Structure 1
Amino acid sequence: MTSTDVTAEAEDSGPSGYAAARLRLLTEGARSGPPRRAALAELTDDWLAGLFTAGAEGLRGVSLVAVGGYGRGELSPRSDLDLLLLHDGGDAARIAALADRIWYPVWDLGLALDHSVRTPAEARKTAGEDLKVQLGLLDARHIAGDLGLTAGLRTAVLADWRNQAPKRLPELQELCTERAERQGELQYLLEPDLKEARGGLRDATALRAVAASWLADAPREGLDDARRRLLDVRDALHLATGRATDRLALQEQDQVAAELGLLDADTLLRQVYEAARVISYASDVTWREVGRVLRSRAVRPRLRSMLGGGKPTAERSPLAEGVVEQDGEVVLARAARPDRDPVLPLRAAAAAAQAGLPLSLHAVRRMAAGVRPLPTPWPAEAREQLVTLLGSGHPTVEVWEALEAEGLITRLIPDWERVRCRPQRNAVHIWTVDRHLIETAVRASEFTRRVSRPDLLLVAALLHDIGKGWPGDHSVAGEIIARDVASRIGFDRDDVAVLATLVRHHLLLVETATRRDLEDPATVRSVAEAVGSQGTLELLHALTEADALATGPAAWSSWRGSLVADLVKRVSAVLSGGELEDPEAAAPTAEQERLAIEAIATGSPVLSLRAQTEVPSEEASGEPEPLGVELLIAVPDQPGVLPAVSGVLAVHRLTVRTAELRALQLPDGVEGSVLLLDWRVAAEYGSLPQAARLRADLVRALDGTLDIASRLAERDAAYPRRRGVVAPPPRVSVHPAASRLATVIEVRAQDAPGLLFRIGRALEDAGVRVRSAHVSTLGANAVDAFYVTGPEGAPLPGTEAAAVARKLEETLRG
């Protein structure tokens, strides 16, 4: 039966005919989705128009208007009918009688009705007082009567909305925020409200209202499809339950999935989550644009008066190579070339997350359209930027979602597609699989001071449940995937093995601690054998807690934490042979020896800069990988070398990736003592300074004529560093058994310009001698070990070492 046949049946038989035609339309299996909704709206229009015409004979200046969801033609089987009887203020008795002639037949059929009778002036006045009424009128659609009256109201309401947009849009955003706080996020709920939850149909309608204001517009791509999908699910839900409900309850999901011809309830939920994610992301981008436009409108007149009427230019502050901040967003620099810079998406994402700023939609789309794939294995910079992004705390979530919205995540990690929007039908889990993985990384970023390899912790957090997209034990499948992903990312063979172990055994500690007898030696021995090393145990302990905390409030407790800590302590005793060993003095290379002899001869620092590359591993193929620039410095042994060198590098905006400082054994016949610094550095942005400038500043720093602390303070005051991440506090610890020749002080802290300078100066002020230093930057985390002695060259007494560590930690916290 066609829609024309259905309409004819309804017209021929009055209300009972409409009811029969409506039932036939809704039970006709071949008709679903937008065609059925359009047909239902058309059928209802014709029926109501007939009621109006019969009651309005001889009455002028009256029209029947559909508003809200009915105005948009989005009638689900049990939807309300939102109607406005519009009149010009004529015969009140005739208008009241007409209203009764329309409302009562609707009620008699058991249909929900939201109705009003108003003049255009009354409608506009009510809209001005009630935002929800105004939103409904934005979708006003003529059904019957005086078309000019309806058109006039539509024109006036739209004009009012656009004129009042600077005031009404913040109100609308506040309504959306309050509703999201009450209803939660549709894309993660096991029993979501398709209409009210964040990312649902209400938000889709709000985006239409923003677009109607002409102030801003939502990203269009995928938005209509997402809205249609949620409406289709609501239609099926109404038919399955026979009720006007928007909540997709667990017990009804299988029936709804069957109604839509889907495989199962998980497939249904995944489609719902994907649609909600599109709407949520569009909402984030749109409300950000609304805020930007409103701010610019408020500031522009004042700026124009200050600039003599000229157009103000948005300030652009550099964040990283090819990445700048502009107007509260992270955008690409004008010279950025995504087609020539495959690391750019990760670099931009890491910079945005570290600054706590959103990635602009234009920047993400430009990168998605033009960026080349990363080579396999990834360059070292790409790996470091990924680790920095993952270690940035909660801002990681928004940035990751922006990349994912444009398909960049699955390009970087193809295995992500299987876990994207995958539901977890488990009351303990509050997130989908993919969001849980990101939340675990966010939690793990709080524990980076507890482990010696925060990069491995963060990547393991990202991958620990990656096997949930495959059949069988997700830990077993995940181990295989983790090996492949870690190799592609560019970790070496040993690190790949550690990551695979972490993914395979990420549930081992909590399951053993809560389900096995810890007094049984076999229990502890089996865990020790599975873990294999002290370093892996340390990582697994942090991953276990991060995973549990990211699962939900029911997954972790002080009791579980104490059991896991007890198990870790027992396993650690079995693996107690994993302490740091004494650093071995390596024989100098010819270049190092040449620099050392020149430094002795001249009595001043000598340095060289050269590109550093990494030879591909046996498994990898292709060209050697650039690692940055190697900076070799030979300095006659004297106090203050570490803070002087690190301070000069900070002044020149050089980032230290790795660093070693040690005393160099000179050849026979050469008198004197030389400190050798072998560091890998990279420009924070821009090009590297000339070696001659570095050397000149280093000479001044060592003789005291260059006040590094003041220079750094002046720069920070002039260009305050935007950092949206609340990093965990620094941690300084003493490892008394790590060396027989020196005291090992380990520092774990958030990497920042001047960090190594502050550490070096604090150690100098403490009166200790740095015998050697081993510095590494893993993403946004610095993990530095300093082998220090007293003035006589002996290890520090225990109390003195503890005091030095305590003082250093206080300095870094300050």
Structure 2
Amino acid sequence: MTSTDVRDEAEDSGPSGYAAARLRLLTEGARSGPPRRAALSGLTDDWLAGLFTAAAPGLRGASLIAVGGYGRGELSPRSDLDLVLLHDGSDPGAVAALADRLWYPVWDLGLALDHSVRTPAEARRTAGEDLKVQLGLLDARHLAGDLGLTAALRTTVLADWRNQAPRRLPELQELCAERAERQGELQYLLEPDLKEARGGLRDATALRAVAASWLADAPREGLDDARRRLLDVRDALHLATGRATDRLALQEQDQVAAELGLLDADTLLRQVYEAARVISYASDVTWREVGRVLRSRSVRPRLRAMLGGGKPVAERSPLAEGVVEQEGEAVLARAARPERDPVLPLRAAAAAAQAGLPLSLHAVRRLAATVRPLPTPWPAEAREQLVTLLGSGRPTVEVWEALEAEGLVSRLLPDWERVRCRPQRNAVHVWTVDRHLIETAVRASEFTRRVSRPDLLLVAALLHDIGKGWPGDHSVAGEIIAQDVAARIGFDRADSAVLAALVRHHLLLVETATRRDLDDPATVRLVARAVGTQSTLELLHALTEADALATGPAAWSSWRGSLVADLVRRVSAVLAGDVPEDAPATAAATVTAEQERLALESVATGGPVLALRAQTEPPAGDTAEAPEGPEPLGVELLIAVPDQPGVLPAVAGVLAVHRLTVRTAELRALELPDGVEGSVLLLDWRVAAEYGSLPQAARLRADLVRALDGSLDVAARLAERDAAYPRRRGVVAPPPRVTVHPAASRHATVIEVRAQDAPGLLFRIGRALEDAGVRVRSAHVSTLGANAVDAFYVTGPKGDPLPGEEAVAVARKLEETLRG
């Protein structure tokens, strides 16, 4: 059926015909995108015009106007109808009756309606008071009635907008900034709001309003396609959900991707992110131009008076060879010849970032259009300019985005295209892969005084996750890519090997420090062998911290920083030869006075002893302090228990019963002072209440005593709680994974568990290990967002590591238990 057939059907049957034609239009598989939006708008236009004509056949001085998205002809399946009934005020009673005959049929069909009834003077006055109303009227489109009335209002509103632009555009910019602060950036969010987030449809509409002011204009290339892509996604979202929503929730992304004929949800998000980047970059350039124009308007009259008339010449200050500053931007010098100077893009970018200036749009586009490729390997100057750019701190981000917007980054680093706009489906990460790499470089620039080779640190920061664009382990893939990139940009063989090693092992320190027993010499020796040299260890330490800080607030804390620093100190000692290879396996861990007191009290009383205290992150100098300030960690819970079976599941179960979530946890056997008989397990936990207040230590201890002696059925209590308060999950989590690391320790078998965090998870793990007949001698538990990553050092009944087949069987059984 053609669009003409659909409109004829609507006209023949009135409201019911419109509803049927609308439904047919929305369910036609072949129609989508701009054709469907135009057809839906046209269908609605004809229906509303028919209602208007039938309701007021002889009425003069009134018209029906579509505004906002409907005015632009951008009706999505569940869009509101934004309508204004305009009248000259000559017959208010007739207009009120007309309004009833227009609005009620719309409501009867269940369509959302945003409506108003105004005279031209009222519409103009309201627009002057409310910026959002004025923006809607800029897209006013005549539907029915007195065309002259509509045209006069459009002319007046547009003239007012242009006359008031110097005052209203800063107001619009502030409105956009406030919305971005609330909604975040569309190009990085896992569940973005297609309309409200920065780089979304509202920003695209704001750019149209700026262009209508004649004061400035947005970069046009790609902008219409970006807007169309977001509208197409919103259409598919409305059809998939049956709701008027702009929030692209995780559980709906696969269905929306299928509606659009895309491969998967990641492909969908990449398209959304790419569109958002175009709009965000255009917004940055446009608002910068608005500011420049407004400043020049206020300054030029005074300059002309001082200079006796004539047009003043903008000052140009040199920044680097071929690069100057002009009116707050880095631009190309008049004598610059990009076609003869392949290093110029990097030199201009480095100069701009060092000066804290944006690269002008004209400069970037001229570079993209004319510059020749760099030779392979790069000349030394090009490599130095790249390092300078990466080491410029926060200004690097804006300059890099300008290069990327015009395709220059992918020309310099072809492997970049695979990580560009790539989403990271992990709650810990707040950025896409490519932006995370730049954020890591920004963070690493703060640590360049800590290392002897800051150039290697900065390039490693840029490349450490480059392998995420390839299948398999991204560290392994990244090592190969880093080796190739390092050689291409001119590093010698030795430096290229160091960069490849940094990329290969960029997770080694934090994973080892938080998931392995640092008192086991095998742990430290494995890290020392992987790192190889003191200088590489120094670089890896700085890269680890920069990577974690750039990941998000949940990825770094002073606790993690102290563990990594402790590991680095131990590895450094091994590399320096200060620790013998055959260091005893029973090397005692550092014991605080409070821990020793609790342990002795536990031996004396024969039962558990607890200490519960509030814990927040103190400022920790250059090793852990983030700009956000102290990180709240809930409370620290220390427990000393006489060594006996069932301690881990008992403690974990009691905490779960009291609705305490475990953020980090360690369990280890504690050596007592000479002359004190007995053995004690020390548990150091950081916990937080799911909601409400924290329980008293006395209640925790009483329940722990009962759990250990078997009088408290923890499993039954947890089952009762789950039955009363079932958890709802909108996202299907990947299955748990349990692995054995046979080389991680000579004195125990290391079993690692990765699973979706949930109440009682640690209790289930501990009970499963106890049921398998193994003893947990050490545990290292961490929760990263919604993911639990736990390592357990287990032995057999005699205290020996498990034989290989038995260890695999225990891991397999544990995985089956967690899947069940």
Check whether TM > 0.5.
yes
Judge conservation of contact 1:387–1:778 (CA < 8 Å) in 2: no
- CA distance in 2 between counterparts of 1:381 and 1:647 reads 61
1:379-434 deviation digits (Å, cap 9, x = unpaired) = 10000000000000010000000000000000000000000000001100000000
Change in 2 beyond 3 A, CA 1:404/1:43: same
Change in 2 beyond 3 A, CA 1:768/1:436: closer
Q: CA deviation at 1:210?
A: 0.1
Structure 2 length-normalised TM: 0.71
Which residue number in structure 1 is paired with residue 69 of structure 2? Answer: 69
1:621-651 deviation digits (Å, cap 9, x = unpaired) = 9999999999999999999999999999999
Judge conservation of contact 1:461–1:543 (CA < 8 Å) in 2: yes
- CA distance in 1 between counterparts of 2:655 and 2:320 reads 17
1:28-82 deviation digits (Å, cap 9, x = unpaired) = 1110000000000000000000000011111111111000000000100000000
Q: CA deviation at 1:796?
A: 56
- CA distance in 2 between counterparts of 1:307 and 1:40 reads 59
Judge conservation of contact 1:581–1:739 (CA < 8 Å) in 2: no
Q: CA deviation at 1:513?
A: 0.8
Judge conservation of contact 1:610–1:631 (CA < 8 Å) in 2: yes
- CA distance in 2 between counterparts of 1:308 and 1:17 reads 71
Structure 1 length-normalised TM: 0.72
- CA distance in 1 between counterparts of 2:108 and 2:596 reads 99
1:159-201 deviation digits (Å, cap 9, x = unpaired) = 1100000000000000000000000000000000000000000
Judge conservation of contact 1:634–1:674 (CA < 8 Å) in 2: yes
- CA distance in 2 between counterparts of 1:108 and 1:632 reads 64
- CA distance in 2 between counterparts of 1:140 and 1:535 reads 66
Q: CA deviation at 1:89?
A: 1.4
- CA distance in 2 between counterparts of 1:317 and 1:769 reads 71
- CA distance in 2 between counterparts of 1:387 and 1:714 reads 59
Change in 2 beyond 3 A, CA 1:212/1:714: farther
Change in 2 beyond 3 A, CA 1:345/1:158: same
Q: CA deviation at 1:333?
A: 0.3
Greater displacement, 573-582 / 776-785: 776-785
Judge conservation of contact 2:468–2:474 (CA < 8 Å) in 1: yes
1:493-547 deviation digits (Å, cap 9, x = unpaired) = 1100000000000000011111111111111111111111000000000000000
- CA distance in 1 between counterparts of 2:698 and 2:317 reads 28
Judge conservation of contact 1:640–1:702 (CA < 8 Å) in 2: yes
Judge conservation of contact 2:523–2:744 (CA < 8 Å) in 1: no
- CA distance in 2 between counterparts of 1:811 and 1:357 reads 57
- CA distance in 2 between counterparts of 1:685 and 1:369 reads 57
Coordinate RMSD, CA, aligned: 21.8
Judge conservation of contact 2:557–2:624 (CA < 8 Å) in 1: no
Change in 2 beyond 3 A, CA 1:38/1:749: closer
Judge conservation of contact 1:663–1:676 (CA < 8 Å) in 2: yes
1:721-766 deviation digits (Å, cap 9, x = unpaired) = 9999999999999999999999999999999999999999999999
Greater displacement, 775-784 / 218-227: 775-784
- CA distance in 1 between counterparts of 2:299 and 2:722 reads 26
Matched, 1:247 2:247: yes
- CA distance in 2 between counterparts of 1:272 and 1:149 reads 40
Greater displacement, 716-725 / 313-322: 716-725
Greater displacement, 146-155 / 780-789: 780-789
Judge conservation of contact 1:580–1:738 (CA < 8 Å) in 2: no
Which residue number in structure 1 is paired with residue 813 of structure 2? Answer: 807
Q: CA deviation at 1:374?
A: 0.3
Which residue number in structure 2 is paired with residue 476 of structure 1? Answer: 476
Change in 2 beyond 3 A, CA 1:69/1:605: closer
Matched, 1:633 2:639: yes
Q: CA deviation at 1:325?
A: 0.3
Greater displacement, 788-797 / 525-534: 788-797
Judge conservation of contact 1:314–1:327 (CA < 8 Å) in 2: yes
* Structure 2 alignment gaps of length 5 or more: 583-587
Percent identical residues: 91
Change in 2 beyond 3 A, CA 1:533/1:805: farther
Change in 2 beyond 3 A, CA 1:738/1:523: closer
**Count of equivalent residues:** 812
Change in 2 beyond 3 A, CA 1:576/1:813: farther
Judge conservation of contact 2:427–2:785 (CA < 8 Å) in 1: no
Judge conservation of contact 2:251–2:730 (CA < 8 Å) in 1: no
**Structural mapping, 1:563-602, within 5 Å:** 563-576=563-576
Change in 2 beyond 3 A, CA 1:379/1:317: same
Greater displacement, 618-627 / 124-133: 618-627
- Decide which of 705, 711, 730 is 2:717's aligned counterpart: 711
1:315-338 deviation digits (Å, cap 9, x = unpaired) = 000000000000000000000000
1:233-289 deviation digits (Å, cap 9, x = unpaired) = 000000111110000000000000000000000000000000000000000000000
Change in 2 beyond 3 A, CA 1:426/1:117: same
Q: CA deviation at 1:88?
A: 1.3
1:141-172 deviation digits (Å, cap 9, x = unpaired) = 01111111111111111111000000000000
Change in 2 beyond 3 A, CA 1:7/1:353: same
Judge conservation of contact 1:379–1:625 (CA < 8 Å) in 2: no
Q: CA deviation at 1:557?
A: 1.1
* Structure 1 alignment gaps of length 5 or more: none
Q: What SS does the corresponding residue of 1:578 show, helix, strand or coil? A: coil
Q: CA deviation at 1:673?
A: 70
Change in 2 beyond 3 A, CA 1:777/1:93: closer
- CA distance in 2 between counterparts of 1:807 and 1:254 reads 32
Q: CA deviation at 1:666?
A: 67
Q: CA deviation at 1:792?
A: 65
- CA distance in 2 between counterparts of 1:392 and 1:723 reads 42
Change in 2 beyond 3 A, CA 1:353/1:633: farther
Judge conservation of contact 1:730–1:809 (CA < 8 Å) in 2: yes
Change in 2 beyond 3 A, CA 1:92/1:781: closer
Change in 2 beyond 3 A, CA 1:519/1:244: same
Judge conservation of contact 1:394–1:725 (CA < 8 Å) in 2: no
- CA distance in 2 between counterparts of 1:363 and 1:687 reads 58
Q: CA deviation at 1:559?
A: 1.1
Judge conservation of contact 2:554–2:785 (CA < 8 Å) in 1: no
Judge conservation of contact 2:516–2:780 (CA < 8 Å) in 1: no
Change in 2 beyond 3 A, CA 1:460/1:688: farther
- CA distance in 2 between counterparts of 1:724 and 1:404 reads 35
Judge conservation of contact 1:356–1:725 (CA < 8 Å) in 2: no
- CA distance in 2 between counterparts of 1:337 and 1:671 reads 82
Judge conservation of contact 1:454–1:778 (CA < 8 Å) in 2: no
